[in-house]
Amino acid sequence: MKLMKWIAITLLGLLAAGALTPLPAVDEARQAYNKMVEESVKEADEYQQEKESQKKATDAQAQSQQDSALSEKIEAERTRIEAQMDEIRNRGMGGGFTQGMKDNQLKPLQDKLDRLNSDPEGYFAGQ
């Protein structure tokens, strides 16, 4: 009985002094959990950054395609207008077609060409 008392007092003393605690297992589990949470947060951040960079790349590619399509459209319209202007310039003059008539037909085409060169998006939006 004295031995049991002595063991109980020793264990209680060790527990009170902090030399013998059941907490190391709990502390290790807590540290493992914290590490797992940190790794999960890091993975989620990396995934988010990857998605954002993919979206930026996709947006840049789409913008590039739009710019390319607009450039082709601008060039086709410019060629069409210039062909009309050349046709008028090369038309012979006579009794039914004077220099004033030629100038009057060239002016709206030149205005269109100027508008196309200065604001292509506005030009196509106005059509």
Domain ranges of the chain: 23-125
Provide Rg for the chain, Cα atoms.
Answer: 42
pLDDT values of the chain reduced to their tens digit, one per residue, 127 residues: 677 777 777 766 666 655 555 556 667 888 889 999 999 999 999 999 999 999 999 999 999 888 888 889 999 999 999 999 999 888 887 778 888 888 999 999 999 999 999 988 888 887 6
What pTM, to 2 d.p., does this model score?
Answer: 0.54
Residue appearing with tokens 């993919």: 54
Of 106, 102, 100, give the one whose Cα is nearest residue 82: 106
- Give which of 70, 72, 82, 71 is closest to 112, Cα–Cα: 82
Residue 14, pLDDT score: 61
Half-sphere exposure of 78 (CA within 13 A, CB side): 13
